[in-house]
């Protein structure tokens, strides 16, 4: 809990300062209202706007087990700077590993109609081992990231990339990326490629292409290009990754295919039912850094209260960090949120029922030396509930682990955590 307050104070300060500037600069109440709404939406998306640069709030302060507190500053130029050219970057410092991380780059808009951008970037930073992200995912911002607090398994990467964003069709968003990365695990790890060759660090030459298809969403042409005005479901995302051995110094050759579909049924009073199916598979010769975990979010400590932390958005709350890795995996998450309980005008808690399932395999786990982990071939199941927005956006989460991976000690199957839900982008 102590990790959230510095960030909330910074955001609150930024909000108050921005709002004060709006009041001073406008004599019209209507203009005040419009500018205030824009400021709130911008902060909700993770940016504090200035004249030419939007400050990126993601880099102000975070915490994890490897870096300790991680703090810095980032930003991207806005339309006042240029509508067809942008510069972006960040610099952060970890107080536990005593190391600076940074990224810088830029982009040029080739086509306004199709929102086509060509981007270049250089990044020297950390990435969570086993994480897998889609290039086409829109920017996702939280005041703080619950899982990040307890993550300890990172690998360093120095990446140089060129990418192309393109709206192939109003309902089809694409992004293609090509680049090189130098990967160095921060933990003891050796990947045995074969009986004669092994790596403790390695260079990768990666080609990625990603497609997001939203056949039921509604789009319209705006002055900034094509924008989604109403989200429709289901949504489908497909990504292919190819590591090219012997190209630009690449050490390993492997392939990955990732797929996700989201189905959501919206009801009255903001109630909804959501299904999220995510799958991925890799070929042989893939190191552990580029395989999969199922987004675990439980700390390996003795008692329930020692494991008490903050629940994630789509993470397995009873699965322990670094407990499982897979070269092929599938997760299915079901969530139903009831309409808020209108107890008082200011007290409207929400009840959410959740059930999660994960299945995975690992071929030749002995090739990954230095880590002890299991496989998900028997199927992992957990269910629980959340009672959200009890006070100041905070609530409580309860989850129970059962089935094939139920643990002998009863309390080790239980996760009790805080939840935190707040949105400024509406």
- Which mean pLDDT values do the consecutive 10-residue runs of the chain (426 residues) have? 40 43 53 71 77 90 92 94 94 96 96 91 96 81 70 95 93 95 96 92 97 90 71 94 94 96 93 96 95 91 82 90 95 96 91 97 93 94 95 91 95 91 58
Say if CB 296 and CB 309 are below 8 A apart: no
Average pLDDT value over all residues in the chain = 87
Beta-strand runs (E) in 135-197 = 154-169, 172-185, 190-192
What is the model's pLDDT at position 398?
95
Q: 305-320 pLDDT, tens per residue? A: 888 888 888 899 999 9
Element (H, E) at 213: strand 202-213
**Which pLDDT score is estimated for 209?**
97
What is the arrangement of strands in the sheet containing 368-369, beginning at the earlier edge strand? 198-199, 190-192, 368-369
Two structure tokens written together for 103: 């990224």
Cβ-proximal residues to 154 (8 Å cutoff; 6+ apart), any chain:
64, 66, 126, 127, 128, 129, 186, 187
CB atoms near residue 283 (< 10 Å): 14
Cβ-contact 324, 296 below 8 angstroms: yes
Phi-psi region at 286: left, alpha or beta (left = phi > 0; alpha = psi -120 to 50): beta
> How far apart are the C-alpha atoms of 192 and 198, rounded to whole Å?
4
**What was the pLDDT predicted at 140?**
57
Residue with tokens 């590993």: 97
pTM given for the model:
0.85
φ and ψ at residue 36, rounded to 5 degrees:
-65, -45
User: Which residues are bridge partners to 415 per DSSP?
Assistant: 399
Beta-bridged to residue 180, according to DSSP, are 160, 205
In the chain, where are the structural domains located? Answer: 1-98, 112-420
For residue 24, give every residue at least 6 positions away whose Cβ sits within 8 Å of its Cβ, in sequence order, or none: none
Q: What is the pLDDT of residues 259-303, one digit of tens each?
A: 999 999 999 888 999 999 999 999 989 999 999 998 999 988 878
Question: What whole-number distance in Å separates Cα of residue 126 and Cα of residue 155?
Answer: 6
Percent of the chain with pLDDT over 90: 64
To which H or E segment does residue 33 belong?
helix 29-44
Pairing of strands 296-298, 316-320: parallel
**112-420, which class in CATH?**
mainly beta
pLDDT at res. 28: 61
pLDDT of residue 268: 87
For 374-417, what is each residue's pLDDT tens digit?
999 999 999 999 999 998 888 999 999 999 999 999 999 999 99
d(CA 200, CA 190): 5
């Amino acid at each position: 809990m102590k990790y959230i307050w510095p960030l909330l104070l910074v955001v609150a300060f930024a909000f108050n300062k921005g709002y004060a500037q709006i009041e001073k600069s406008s004599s019209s109440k209507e203009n005040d209202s419009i500018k205030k709404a824009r400021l709130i939406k911008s902060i909700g998306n993770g940016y504090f706007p200035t004249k030419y640069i939007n400050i990126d709030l993601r880099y102000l302060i975070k915490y994890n087990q490897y870096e300790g507190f991680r703090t810095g500053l980032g930003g991207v130029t806005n339309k006042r700077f240029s509508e067809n050219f942008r510069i972006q970057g960040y610099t952060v410092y970890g107080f536990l590993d005593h190391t600076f991380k940074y990224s810088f780059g830029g982009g040029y808009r080739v086509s306004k109609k199709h929102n086509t951008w060509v981007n270049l970037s250089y990044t020297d930073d950390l990435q969570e081992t086993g994480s897998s992200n889609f290039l086409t995912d829109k920017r996702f911002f939280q005041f703080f990231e619950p899982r990040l607090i307890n993550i300890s398994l990172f690998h360093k990467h120095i990446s140089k990339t060129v990418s192309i964003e393109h709206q192939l069709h109003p309902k089809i968003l694409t992004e293609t990326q090509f680049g090189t990365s130098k990967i160095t695990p921060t933990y003891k790890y050796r990947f045995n490629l074969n009986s004669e060759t092994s790596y403790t660090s390695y260079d990768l030459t990666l080609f990625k292409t990603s497609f997001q298809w939203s056949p039921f969403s509604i789009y319209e042409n705006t002055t900034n290009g094509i924008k989604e005005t109403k989200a429709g479901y289901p949504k489908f995302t497909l990504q292919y990754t190819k590591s090219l051995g012997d190209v630009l110094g690449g050490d390993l050759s492997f392939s990955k295919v990732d797929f996700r579909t989201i189905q959501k049924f919206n009801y009255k009073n903001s109630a909804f039912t959501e299904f999220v199916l995510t799958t991925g598979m890799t070929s042989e010769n893939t190191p552990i850094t580029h395989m999969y975990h199922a987004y675990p979010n439980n700390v390996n400590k003795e008692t329930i209260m020692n494991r008490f932390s903050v629940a994630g958005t789509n993470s397995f709350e009873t699965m322990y960090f670094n407990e499982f890795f897979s070269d092929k995996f599938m997760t299915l998450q079901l969530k139903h949120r009831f309409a808020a309980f209108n107890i008082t005008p200011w007290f409207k808690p929400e009840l959410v029922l959740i059930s999660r399932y994960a299945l995975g395999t690992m071929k030749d786990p002995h090739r990954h030396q230095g880590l002890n982990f299991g496989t998900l071939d028997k199927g992992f199941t957990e269910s629980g509930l959340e009672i959200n927005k009890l006070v100041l956006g905070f609530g409580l989460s309860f989850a129970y682990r059962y089935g094939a991976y139920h643990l002998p000690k009863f309390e080790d199957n239980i996760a009790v955590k805080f939840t935190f839900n707040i949105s400024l982008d509406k």
